[in-house]
Structures are given as structure tokens and as C-alpha cells.
Amino acid sequence: MGLVNKSIDCDFKINKIKEKEIDGVYFYKSGKVFMGGKVSRIKNLDEIPSPYLTGLLDKFFEKNLIPIIETNRGCPYQCTFCCQGFSSFHQMHFFSMERVKSELEYISKHVKNTHILNLADSNFGIVERDMEIAKFISELNKRTGYPHVVSCNLAKNQPKIYELSKILNTLIVVSTDRKFKPTSTSKL
């Protein structure tokens, strides 16, 4: 938020934004790296206003874009090539179930140009409540026809993902590199 607020205050003028350090941000200027102070992660994710439920993303439903949501943030794994492998990201924090379901409902009512939903979670299926989310998505598909395809990054080494795949059945597409790999020949 520090960078967003600073950018707004500086009217998005990059030289002004870079006048001094910003907490949570590293930047390069005149051959030097400037480091702001540490910023704590947000634990109660519902503090972040929903860009869907506030209507901020409504105009993007007019375009040929795929809606994307997060149900949690953080990853317990430590892949060295990944920014989420940092120890500061190990603790997982969650959006409330009510918020997740409301966003999914909202998207299903407003979506126009795609049948795809992208779940941005690093490890969908890593926690028990993901089964409830999968059931909700499956029920939403039966009730509204959306989503027809769910692209997600599944949890690693988790027996639960077998159950999750059964719930989502042909809806699920595993995206490991942001390229889609359909598991069925269903119309996208």
C-alpha cells in the first residue's frame, strides 16, 4: 500500500515517487539501490476491499479476459526460484469463506466473454476448506453454467487433491506455467 499511496500522492510521476525510500520497496536510482523499511504482511485478508464486490473490475467483464481470484496467500514450500519461497511467505493467510463465495457468485453473474475461472492460489487443495470451495464452484457451474473450466495450481504431495479433482471432475485444468492444459475436450 505504501507504493500505491505514494504513487497517488506523486501523481504517478516516477522521479517524484523515487525522491526517497518507500517501505516495502527496493528501487534503483543514480547507480544506487534504495531500500525501504520492512512491511508486515496483512493477516486478515478481508481488510483488503474486494475489487470485484466494489465494482472496480466491472469494465473488464466487457473484454476478452479471464477472471482471477485468490482464496489465500502464502506458501509453505521453499522453492528457491520463487518469490513465494521466502520464509516471510510461509505462513498462509485466508480470505473468509463468505468473501470467496461472494466473489465467485459476483463473477458468475457478470462474466460475459469466457467460461474460464483462474484460481491464483499457490496450492489449491492444500487445506480442507478448499474442498468446500471446489464443491461451491461445481454447484455454481451446475446452477449458472460458469465456470466451465477452472485453471489452478494444485497443492504438491497432497492426497486431498485426488478428492478435489473428483469434485471438480472435468472442470479442472492444472496450470503450472500459466499455459492451459485441458483435461477434457470441453468447449472453452
Query: Residue 69 or 111: which CB sits closer to ligand SF4?
Result: 69
Contact present, 95 and 104 (Cβ < 8 Å): no
Closer by beta carbon to ligand SF4, 118 or else 122 = 122
- Does 84 bind ligand SF4 (CB under 6 A)? Our answer is yes
Please, which residue, 14 or 79, has the CB nearer to ligand SF4? 79
Q: Is residue 75 within the footprint of ligand SF4 (CB under 6 A)?
A: yes
Residues 153-172 that bind ligand SF4 (CB under 6 A): 156
Number of shown-chain residues binding ligand SF4 (CB under 6 A): 8
Using the minimum distance from each CB to ligand SF4, give the nearer residue, 4 or 83.
83
Q: Under the criterion CB under 6 A, does residue 122 sit at the interface with ligand SF4?
A: yes
Q: According to the binding rule CB under 6 A, does residue 14 interact with ligand SF4?
A: no
Shortest separation between residue 56's beta carbon and ligand SF4, angstroms: 26
- Closest approach, Cβ 137 to ligand SF4, in A, equals 21
User: H/E/C letters for each residue in the chain?
Assistant: CHHHHHHHHCCCCHHHHCCCCCCCCEEEECCEEEECCCCCCCCCHHHCCCCCCCCCCHHHHHCCCCCEECCEECCCCCCCCCHHHCHHHCCCEECCHHHHHHHHHHHHHHCCCCCEEEECCCCECCCCHHHHHHHHHHHHHHHHCCCCEEEECECCCCCHHHHHHHHHHHHEEECCCCCCCECCCCCC
Which stretch, 14-22, 23-31, 50-58, 81-89, contacts ligand SF4 (CB under 6 A)?
81-89
Strand partners, 25: none
Residue ranges binding ligand SF4 (CB under 6 A): 75, 77, 79, 82, 84-85, 122, 156
